[in-house]
């Protein structure tokens, strides 16, 4: 019985990870990994970040902004320390909580950015792995194996119950019938 609950739990965890990674973007969210130590002590390297996509006009000083500096680069997350409206866009100053310097970002009006809404310690390592091809294959394989184990456990349990009902034994105590 305990194995069945453990199987259900593992299947739910695998499904939650898979759904979070694939469905969250539809609703303007993403799960990313914190890379580096610029946000220590708030976030550590490898923490999973829950990010919501917002219009830049909704960003406030103190929010943690997630941006990609160059196409193909890893996301950078820094705290917003100032926002200035300029002709045709914004000038945003950000600073990592563990950094001693600020960085200046230029952004156009109407541009969207990611804002950190929550984090899970160490979950970013799983996110990094799940974003690789081998990671996706492994997640699907684990899910398939867990479902198969659950099906086999049910089949084994049904077979055992059927055998017990044929013999009239509960399987717990030896039979007192002399014919057996």
**Tens of pLDDT along 24-56?**
788 888 888 999 999 999 999 999 999 999 998
Q: Which is it for the CA torsion 89, 115, 24, 135, positive or negative?
A: positive
Assigned domain for 172 exists: no
CATH number of the domain enclosing 99: 2.10.109.10
Assigned domain for 168 exists: no
Token pair of 27 as six digits: 């609703």
**Count of beta carbons in the 10 Å neighbourhood of residue 124:** 22
Assigned domain for 19 exists: yes
Domain count along the chain = 1
Assigned domain for 175 exists: no
What pLDDT digit, counting tens, does each position of 42-98 carry?
999 999 999 999 998 899 999 999 987 777 778 889 999 999 998 888 999 999 999
Distance of CA 157 to the CA centre of its chain: 34
Token pair of 9 as six digits: 């739990």
Task: Look up the domain containing 127 and give its range.
Answer: 2-136
């Amino acid at each position: 019985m305990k194995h069945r609950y453990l199987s259900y739990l593992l299947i739910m965890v695998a499904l939650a990870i898979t759904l979070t990674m694939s469905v969250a973007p539809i609703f303007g969210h993403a799960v990313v990994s914190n890379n580096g130590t610029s946000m220590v002590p708030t976030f550590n390297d490898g923490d999973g970040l829950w990010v919501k996509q917002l219009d830049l006009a909704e960003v406030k000083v103190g929010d943690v902004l997630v941006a990609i500096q160059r196409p193909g680069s890893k996301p950078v997350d820094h705290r917003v320390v100032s926002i200035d409206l300029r002709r045709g866009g914004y000038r945003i100053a950000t600073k990592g909580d563990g950094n001693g310097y600020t960085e200046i970002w230029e952004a156009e009006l109407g541009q969207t950015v990611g804002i950190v809404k929550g984090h899970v310690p160490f979950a970013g390592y799983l996110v990094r792995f799940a974003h690789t091809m081998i990671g996706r294959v492994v997640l699907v394989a684990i899910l398939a194996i867990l479902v198969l184990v659950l099906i086999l456990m049910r089949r084994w349990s049904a077979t055992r119950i059927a055998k017990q009902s044929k013999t009239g034994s509960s399987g717990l105590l030896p039979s007192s019938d002399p014919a057996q």
